[in-house]
Amino acid sequence: MTSHNHHATTSSSPDEPGAGATAQPPLEFWDELYKAKPAVWSGRVNANLASVAGTLTPGRALDLGCGEGGDAIWLAQQGWRVTGIDISTVAIERARAAAVDAGVDAALLDFATGDLETWSPDDELDLITASFFQSPVHLPRAEILRKAALMLAPGGHLLTVAHAGVPSWVQDSEHPAHLFVQPDREIAELALPAGEWETVIAESRTRDVASPDGAPGTLEDSVVLLRRMG
């Protein structure tokens, strides 16, 4: 799954969504992507997730498309009881190794492989996170997020951080617009039951990063935090 930590074969960087969608089976696509490099992501928590989730009271959390585990490990270090799930067996092996290296309490963190179209959590949750949960291969993103959100306990939060546009250094991008996420469209496509959800955050945020050639650049992220009322 797309997690910062996650794009098509023409993508020049894991921080860029990929170009046009392909018919390659998702498991095959993601395992190939991970096998091609010893590490695809930085291992660090996504900054927007940390700034938002850092304000919430720890409870039970699920990280969708957890990749190599950076966000899930950080959440566990803050006291959350976390399950990280990803379709890629390679990514999950790396996430488990990273958790051991980080010394995370095994009682607080579990990683699982699964197809999120069919997988569902066993218990109610207090937080669901999805960082850069975007893919150039088949991914019914809104359906998966909606199903997961309905597993939130009253007062629980859904936090999505997503690519909102092409990197500042990319000219004449071939990235199809549908791979990007805008906050208002994110909420509309989730189509959660009216009157049951509070929008806490819905904004685009600009991130300063280094471009592939080392020059200063920016990335645009969509950040949405919804709270289940009741």
pLDDT attached to residue 64: 95
pLDDT attached to residue 41: 62
Question: Across the beta sheet with 125-131, what order do the strands follow?
Answer: 109-113, 81-86, 60-64, 125-131, 152-163, 216-228, 197-210
Distances (CA, A) of 120 to 5, 62, 223: 22, 10, 24
pLDDT attached to residue 3: 39
pLDDT attached to residue 230: 81
Distances (CA, A) of 16 to 152, 158, 175: 30, 23, 9
pLDDT attached to residue 40: 59
Range list of H helices, 39-117 = 47-53, 70-77, 89-101
Could you say which DSSP state residue 202 is in? E
Q: Is 170 helix (H, G, I), strand (E, B) or coil?
A: coil
Residue 71 neighbours by CB under 8 Å, 6+ apart: 3, 4, 5, 45, 46, 49, 63, 84, 129, 131
CATH architecture of 26-169+176-203: 3-Layer(aba) Sandwich (3.40)
84 touches 66 (CB < 8 A) = yes
Helix 26-35 × helix 89-101 angle, to 10°: 50
Calculated CA dihedral for residues 88, 91, 92, 95, nearest 10 degrees? -160
pLDDT tens across the length of the chain (230 residues): 443 333 322 232 333 334 345 678 888 877 787 777 766 566 689 899 999 999 999 999 999 999 999 999 999 999 999 999 999 999 999 999 999 999 999 999 999 998 888 888 778 999 999 998 888 778 889 999 999 999 999 999 999 999 898 888 887 766 666 678 999 999 999 999 989 999 999 999 998 988 888 999 999 999 999 999 98
pTM of the model as a whole: 0.85
C-alpha closest to that of 211 among 163, 180, 166:
166
Domain boundaries defined on the chain: 26-169+176-203
Helix or strand holding residue 153 (H, E): strand 152-163
- Residue 195 exposed, middle or buried by CB count within 10 Å (0-12, 13-18, 19+): exposed
At position 30, the amino acid (one-letter code) is W
Query: What is d(CA 62, CA 32) in angstroms, rounded to the nearest whole number?
Result: 25
pLDDT attached to residue 178: 65
